[in-house]
Amino acid sequence: MEAWPPSSQSASNHHPFSSRSPDALVIQPDAVPTRIQVIQYSKDNARKFIVEDPEDLKAYLSKPETVTWIDVQGLGKAEVLQSIAQVLNLHPLLLAQVVNVPQRPRAENFNTHQLIITRNVTPKMASAADAGFDLEQISLVIGPGYVVTFQEEPEHDCFEPVRERIRRRNSLLHAHGADFLAYALLDATIEGFFPVIEDYGERLEDLEIEIVERPKQPSLQRINRVKRELLTLRRAAWPMRDAINEILREDCPLIGDSVRVYLRECYDHTVQIIDIIETYREVASSLMDVYLSSLSNQTNEVMKVLTIISVIFIPLTFIAGIYGMNFNTERSPLNMPELNWYWGYPAVLAVMAAIGGGMTFYFWRKGWIGGPRR
């Protein structure tokens, strides 16, 4: 048998993901250590647990009358994640798509499980000039009677409103199954977009006022930054709309028809988010034109002032130039007889002041100085 010849190209020249298996797990070096939290509820009660060993999840999945929410916080321990996948019988490709971040938001059916990959957006705590957002991947896995959430950054948790609804006994969550819980979690991630895009609306308004009143180079830099960040938001929101639409079109036995009605609301919210983002992107692009126009107007105002000053001093310079020629009056009586006048110098100054003041008054009446006049 002929041996396979070794590659002449060094392995270091290959892409890091080019030779790995599709179901291989790639743990990020800065990933948060994995922590498991379980919330189990029924029509009568709700309980919360911290799970140390993934094997203990079997005890929570053996109760058919309850809905179990397994919240996996952090993707830093591959052995824990693989143990969770073994207990829940998750497909290796499903686990790889959850762990190998970032993935494009999408929905995929794995027969016994439904995977939904979405994005969580949280605003940064910073001043208005340095404001931004943090973007992380959140994966939802719907199974028979349970939902598993995989959070990349637990500190940006957006599921507290869902936990509060579970604590209330009269919540709709207690009257529905795991598919309704998945809807509530997906809706919580979508609702996180609205405070962020509202903040961008306020930033664009402030930028517009700043550009019209005092256009400067830092304003242009902030416009470009807003445009880039809005593009990032658009790339996160657009695939989410397609993912929800795919769930609505497919016949998934894990999602009931009653929950699909609520998923249509999620779809409408994503469409609304995309429309707002597109509108703000157009506003940001128009602010660039406003900046250039304001800068041009500012330059024109400066040139107008300089031109007016030049026009005022042209006749004064003309008079001063004539009397600076110093022709000898003894040679001819026509050679500047004013040089021998007693009041010649004050008279010339008075004439020059009258010309300058008259021209300034005329420009003021025309509205060229000090704003428009009626």
Quick one: CATH architecture of 298-366?
Up-down Bundle (1.20)
Q: What is the pLDDT of residue 114?
A: 93
Q: What region, left, alpha or beta, does residue 145 occupy, with left being phi > 0 and alpha being psi -120 to 50 degrees?
A: left
Q: Which CATH superfamily is domain 20-208+225-294 in?
A: CorA soluble domain-like (3.30.460.20)
Helix, strand counts (H, E) of the chain: 9, 7
Q: What is the pLDDT of residue 128?
A: 46
Is 351 a residue whose pLDDT tops 50? yes
Q: What is the pLDDT of residue 126?
A: 55
**Which residue type, as a one-letter code, is found at position 81?**
L
CA distances from 72 to 32, 49, 57, 148, 374 (A): 11, 12, 12, 7, 72
Q: What is the pLDDT of residue 43?
A: 84
Most confident of 2-16, 234-248, 347-361: 234-248
Is 130 a residue whose pLDDT tops 60? no
Domain with CATH 1.20.58 in the chain: 298-366
Could you give the CA distance from residue 329 to residue 131 in angstroms, rounded to a whole number?
A: 77
Mean of pLDDT over the chain:
83
Mean pLDDT for 119-144 is: 79
Three-state DSSP at 157 gives coil
Domain with CATH 3.30.460.20 in the chain: 20-208+225-294
Q: What is the pLDDT of residue 6?
A: 46
Mean pLDDT for 334-345 is: 76
Is 278 a residue whose pLDDT tops 90? yes
What is the pTM (predicted TM-score) of this model? 0.76
Render pLDDT for 76-127 as a digit per residue (tens, 0 to 9). 888 999 999 999 999 989 999 998 888 889 999 888 899 999 998 888 765 5
Q: What is the pLDDT of residue 1?
A: 40
Render pLDDT for 167-215 as a digit per residue (tens, 0 to 9). 887 788 888 889 999 999 999 999 999 999 998 998 999 888 888 877 7
Q: What is the pLDDT of residue 17?
A: 47
